[in-house]
């Protein structure tokens, strides 16, 4: 099985094949790029005598998001509330998954996940930004709507079918 280590020679060849404009664009990705890749890009730009200025890195707080983005995590999480067992497994919140199956506390856990789910899941994620994380959580909310609609259609159809069957069999 091949290793997932950084292949320095491969990336050095790729970076040396970039135009000056492409290299400058790569250097502007500072916060979004792999650190080892950025070291190679800076080395190549220095070797070519290209004048460049690296963008300022944002001040980071605990986790991996700038402090200004942390307020976005305080929103209600519909995916965590309605699809809790699947959502907690997908976000690697194993203890919360187990807590969902303990009858005296599972109801409280649902509401806690709704209120604090974004913060709990973000602490375990590997994404670079809160915006990317919240985009995924919006997808969970869309799935909640789909599940509710499918369930409602199924229940209405089942109710109509049972009604018709009882009408024709009596």
Q: Report pLDDT for 165.
A: 92
Q: Report pLDDT for 132.
A: 85
Q: Of 38-42, 76-80, 99-103, where does mean pLDDT reach its minimum?
A: 38-42
The token pair that represents 17 in the structure block? 């094949």
Q: How far is CA 159 from CA 65, 72, 156, in A?
A: 49, 41, 5
Mean pLDDT for all residues in the chain? 84
The residue that leads in pLDDT, 112 or 6, is: 112
Only one residue has tokens 């199924």, namely 154
Of the pLDDT bands very low, low, confident and very high (cuts 50, 70, 90), residue 86 is very high
The token pair that represents 28 in the structure block? 């502007």
- Model confidence at 59: pLDDT above 50: no
- Model confidence at 62: pLDDT above 50: no
Alpha helix stretches (DSSP H) within 72-129: 78-82, 84-90, 94-99, 106-124
């Amino acid at each position: 099985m091949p290793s997932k280590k950084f292949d320095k020679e491969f990336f050095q060849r790729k970076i040396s094949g970039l135009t000056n404009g492409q290299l400058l664009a790569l250097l502007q990705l500072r916060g979004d790029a792999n650190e080892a890749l950025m070291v190679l890009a800076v080395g190549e730009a220095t070797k070519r005598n290209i004048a460049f200025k690296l963008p300022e890195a944002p001040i980071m707080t605990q986790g991996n998001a700038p402090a200004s983005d942390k307020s976005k995590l305080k929103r209600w999480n519909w995916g965590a509330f309605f699809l809790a067992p699947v959502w907690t497994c997908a976000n690697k919140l194993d203890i919360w998954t187990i807590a969902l199956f303990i009858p005296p506390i599972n109801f409280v856990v649902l509401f806690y996940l709704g209120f604090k789910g974004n913060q709990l899941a973000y602490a375990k994620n590997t994404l670079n930004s809160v915006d990317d994380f919240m985009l995924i959580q919006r997808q969970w909310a869309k799935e909640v709507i789909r599940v509710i609609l499918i369930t409602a259609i199924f229940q209405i159809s089942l109710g109509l079918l049972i009604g018709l069957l009882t009408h024709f069999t009596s």
